[in-house]
Amino acid sequence: MAELTAFGYQPGNSVFHNLDARFKLLFLISISLASLKSGPLAMFISSLVVFGVLCFLGIKIIRTLIELRFFCAMLVLILLARSVSTPGEVILQFKSILISRQGIIDGLMICWRLLFIVFSGLSFISSTSSSQIRDGLENLLAPIPLIPQKQIAIMLGLLIRFLPIIFHQARETGDAQRARCVENRKNPVYRLTCLIIPLFRRTFSDADALVIAMEARCFNDKRPTKKMSATGNDWWALLAVFGLNILLISV
C-alpha cells in the first residue's frame, strides 16, 4: 500500500537511499531544530534544497499537498490566530478584530517552518525503510543508559510502517463516503463523524491483526542489535547538512 500514498518508503538505489539511517535521523532532527529560528532568506534556500531532494526521489509535490489538505487547513487557522493576536500595524479591522502586518508575517513564517519540517520528514521517510529506521534508532540510543532502545525503535518502526496504511484507508473511506453523497450533508460534524469513526475502526482492526501476527511468530525485542558502519558519503552529507544548519541559524 505504500505506493498509493506519498507518505511511505519509496524503494530505490539513490545516494539518499544508501545513506546511513543514523545520519539521516540526525539530519532530520538538526534541520528541524535549526529552522525554528531561521529567517526568510535561509528558509527560502533550505526549502529549495529540500524540494530538490524530493524531486530527486520522485515525490510529487502537488500530490503531497493534496494529501496534506487537512494539515494545510490547520496552517490557515494558525495564520489567522497569529494575525489577530500579534500587536503591530493594523492593516484590516472588522469590528473588534484587528489584523496586524506583523501578525501576518509571523504567521506566515510559522506555517512555512512547519511545512518545511513536514517535507523534510517526508524526504526521510521516502528514502528510509522502517527496518532501517528501527536499526538506526536502536544504534543511536544504545550508548545511553536506562533507555529501552529496542522497544523505542520497534514502536517508531511500526508507527512509520502504519502511516501509509492510515493515509490509504483515509482515502478509501473518503471515496466511500463521497459515493454515498455524504459530502452533500450540511452538518460538518456529521460528515466528520462518518469519516473518523470508520477510519479509526479499520486502523485499530489492522493494528490488532498485526499484534496477533507478531504473537503467532513469537516476536520479541530480545534480538541482537544490527551493527551499522558509516561510509564516505555519510560524512560528506554530514558536512553539507552542517553547512545548511549554519545557514538556517545565521541568516
- Give the integer Cα–Cα distance in Å for 63 and 98: 35
Global pTM? 0.74
131 and 160 Cβ atoms separated by less than 8 Å = no
> What residues are paired with 98 via a beta bridge?
93
7 and 54 Cβ atoms separated by less than 8 Å = no
Total number of residues shown for the chain: 251
Site of grid cell 532532527: 29
- Give the integer Cα–Cα distance in Å for 18 and 15: 5
Q: Number of folded domains in the chain? A: 1
> What tens-digit pLDDT sequence spans the chain (251 residues)?
444 556 677 777 888 888 888 888 888 888 888 888 788 888 888 888 888 888 888 888 887 887 777 788 888 888 888 888 888 777 777 777 778 888 888 888 888 998 898 888 888 888 888 788 888 888 888 778 777 777 788 777 777 777 777 777 777 887 888 787 777 777 777 777 777 888 888 888 888 888 888 788 877 767 776 777 888 888 998 898 888 888 888 76
- Which of 130, 179, 175, 126 is closest to 5 using CA atoms? 126
Give me the pLDDT at residue 2, please: 40
- Which of 34, 20, 83, 65 is closest to 241 using CA atoms? 34
**DSSP assignment string, 35-65:** HTT--HHHHHHHHHHHHHHHHHTT--HHHHH
Q: Which domain holds residue 241?
A: 2-250
- Which of 123, 136, 144 is closest to 20 using CA atoms? 136
